[in-house]
Amino acid sequence: MKRIGDLRIILIGVVLLASWVALQPLELDPGSGPPPTVEERQQSLYQAVEEREQWLYQGEAAEAEPVLRRDLAALYAAVGRYAEAEQAVAAGYWPEGHCRASLLGAQGTHYAQASRRPTVVAHAPQRLMYEPQPDGSMRFLGVEYLVFQRFWHDVGNSERPALFGETFGDAMLDDEPVYRLHVWIGQFNPLGLFADWNPLVSCAFVGAVAERTEVVAE
């Protein structure tokens, strides 16, 4: 686990350095053609970070990787029908709070189930994550498993919950401690598949979602 933590720290450094480089003005020869667009720079950054992450994890995750891929495929098969936020609402998931962002990136808007069940089931996450889009729609990002610590231990669990070989981390919700785990199965995350924040996710278009909601309501 320490090695994985060290690798994630390296990845954060790679992301920050690559982001700084991507934003620097380019000095081009007169005959080199027009400078790359913002979209082209961003795509190049995504590719570089993804290749770096694959290289770092190549040796350590070689044996576990097929099992993890199988488990993630099963998860995606279970939640793939929620690619549209409207489908998630129809299944009992409701928007919870605002789009969440930090200096490390964003998590998007969470759609949560009302149940506070003291269990974690791989194919039934408590939350779905979506990113607001310019047209007012929501793009599926991944899932979050969340269980209140009090309920989890009240039913006899002595250890923290774990899924996909990852132990849940600590967080707070409604002033109560919870265990949680993010899984970015719908959006590549340069900080790691199970990281809390994603630097490639943005809350920039929350206003577009609000405007679309008002139009639909009218």
- Rounded to the nearest integer, the mean pLDDT of the chain is 77
Residues 6+ apart with CB under 8 A from 113: 92, 93, 94, 126, 127
User: pTM of the predicted model, to two decimals?
Assistant: 0.69
The rounded distance, in Å, linking the Cα atoms of 168 and 158 is 13
Residues 88 and 166 in one domain: yes
Residues 125 and 182 in one domain: yes
Residue 35 has pLDDT above 60, yes or no: no
Q: Which residue has better confidence, 123 or 8?
A: 123
Give the pLDDT band (50/70/90) at residue 87.
very high
Residues 96 and 185 in one domain: yes
Is 137 within a domain? yes
Is 116 within a domain? yes
Instruction: Note down the domain range covering 16.
Output: 2-57
Give the pLDDT band (50/70/90) at residue 26.
very low
Is 176 within a domain? yes
Residues 184 and 132 in one domain: yes
Is 191 within a domain? yes
Residue 62 has pLDDT above 80, yes or no: no
* 41's tokens: 């720079």
